[in-house]
Amino acid sequence: MNLVTRCPACGTAFRVQRDQLAAHFGTVRCGKCGGVFNGVAALVEEGPERLSVDPSPQLGLFDPSRRPAQAAPARNDAPLPEFLADERVSRPKAWLWILLSVVALAALVAQLYRIRAEAIAWVPELRPALEAGCRVAGCTVPLPRRPDLLKIVSSDMHDDPGRQLFVLNALLRNLARFPQPYPDLELALTDAGKVVTRRVLRPSEYLDARAAARQIANGLEPGAEESLRVYVDAKLVRASGYELCIYPDDCLKHSKK
């Protein structure tokens, strides 16, 4: 928006821009007589009869080469017009909002990093984005773990008298919408309803040895099933039954029944 200021020395009126007035605290130089004056204090309004206004003195304002040697612009402490004061106050506020926004975004990213496994459990579609971010940051995205969504669908155990071994067969299913780590399983051999011995089976023990490392890294896919077979040495054990549960969560619930 163009403003009009009038030189108090020669009475010449000029159109000026607000950024010209904001610089040097409003001190300007007349393009006709060379007089230095406060352009803010000398602002005038155009009434119904339009003023005869000269164009803005191109670079006559603030041009050191045209400034008389004895004239030194002094700071004017007169209050700024409201439109200039608002503009100056709004700039720090804008930077403050930008700074607060950056801080809030950084806090959100940090929180998402801490709960990245849980976030995938809530929204599985986030995994590709989190993995891409971790490739840049040098971190990893662990598989979310929901033991209540892992089920032993079926199991049976029979003995092999020739080798004095028990053969355990079981089917494990992931009911979640996201991959989960293969769980530890607890096998308890019983006799007359009493536990004779217990053993925790790690994924590397019950998965096929040729593909165990890859399967453990990728986890059990959503809705997938995994059949397993485990040979248990029973030479020194007298057992007539068994119990199989997901360790430790499902085993704790099982022991309370």
Domain ranges for the chain, please list them.
2-78, 84-137, 147-256
Q: pTM score > 0.95 for this model?
A: no
pLDDT, position 149 = 95
At 215 the pLDDT is 93
Low-confidence ranges of the chain (pLDDT < 70): 1-2, 46-92, 105-117, 254-257
Q: What is the DSSP letter of 239?
A: -
- What is the rounded distance in angstroms from the CA atom of residue 27 to the CA atom of residue 125? 60
AA identity, residue 143: L
Q: What is the pLDDT of residues 204-246, one digit of tens each?
A: 999 988 889 999 999 999 999 999 999 988 777 888 899 999 9
Query: Residue 218: what pLDDT?
Result: 92
Q: Using an 8 Å Cβ cutoff, are 247 and 151 in contact?
A: no
Cβ neighbours of residue 216 closer than 8 Å, sequence gap 6 or more: 181, 182, 203, 204, 207
CA distance 170 to 153: 8
Distance CA 23, CA 27 (A): 8
- Please tell me the predicted confidence (pLDDT) of residue 51: 47
Topology (CATH) of 147-256: Immunoglobulin-like (2.60.40)
Cα(183)–Cα(215) distance, rounded to whole angstroms? 12
